[in-house]
Amino acid sequence: MKSIRDTIQQGDKYFRWRGAETSRLEALFDMVLAMALTLTVISLEVPQTFDDLIGSFAKLPSFAVCFVILLMCWYYHFQFHRRYGIENFPLVIMSGLLLFIILIYVYPLKFLYSLLFSPANAAGLNPAQGQTLIMLYSAGFAAIFAMFFLMNLYAYVARADLEMDTNEIALTKAAMGTHAVYVIVASISILMTWANIGGTLSGWVYLLIGPLQFANGMYWGLQIKET
């Protein structure tokens, strides 16, 4: 059984980390994610006037949401490589696709939240364009977490080779459930938007993520056995 110190240093109480040093694949992911964060930054230029400074702070909520979503992507990727340490060809392909999707997704991501936190900017957006924007955002959101789901599914299939114990298998399933929730909610949003059902409810449906993730965490948490 790991000591408290080991748990704090590793950050994963019930999972033996198989990945140690940062791999070149992780380094590439970090570099691309840094590029994506740069594209969502408040302003690439230092404000020249006080009005510019205040205007930059007005964009802070939009940047904060984009930052949190991209940070989630970084954490899930980091956690996967630390837990499983898999660096073979299929994982390179999946990580490559994930990076490609993130770089495309960052544009509708920033555009959508810029509109949400600055309603005046949405004045020129007609309903058809609004629906297209929601579908692009949701499609990117679903695609990103579908890739994370597939990566964890790949690790789960290789559980015997990785010599996973009961708790590690449960946590792998929990991770798959986490990513499945994101994909399902985004897919519901896409279907509602495509079928023109509920109007703005296709955006509010994302509020389901909180309770669904809570239920997923509670269920798999109960499967964990103290050793």
Whether 60 and 42 have beta carbons less than 8 Å apart is answered as yes
pLDDT for 11: 61
The number of residues in the chain equals 227
- Its domain, for residue 45, covers 21-221
C-alpha dihedral sign at 137, 181, 76, 43: positive
pLDDT, tens digit, for every residue of 37-57?
888 875 556 667 777 667 667
Q: Does a structural domain hold residue 12?
A: no
d(CA 92, CA 87): 7
pLDDT for 151: 97
Cβ neighbours of 180 (radius 10 Å): 18
d(CA 148, CA 34): 19
pLDDT for 184: 97
Q: Does a structural domain hold residue 8?
A: no
Q: How far apart are the first and last CA of the chain?
A: 7
pLDDT for 175: 97
Q: Does a structural domain hold residue 5?
A: no
- 42 sits in the region (left: phi over 0; alpha: psi -120 to 50; else beta) called alpha
pLDDT for 120: 59
Q: Does a structural domain hold residue 49?
A: yes
pLDDT for 24: 82
- List the chain residues with pLDDT less than 50: 1, 3-5, 7-9
pLDDT for 9: 45
Q: Does a structural domain hold residue 16?
A: no
The amino acid present at 65, given as its one-letter code, is V
Q: Does a structural domain hold residue 2?
A: no
| E strand or H helix that includes residue 84 | helix 60-84
Q: Does a structural domain hold residue 6?
A: no
Answer whether 0.85 is exceeded by the pTM: yes
**Number of independent structural domains in the chain:** 1
Q: Does a structural domain hold residue 15?
A: no
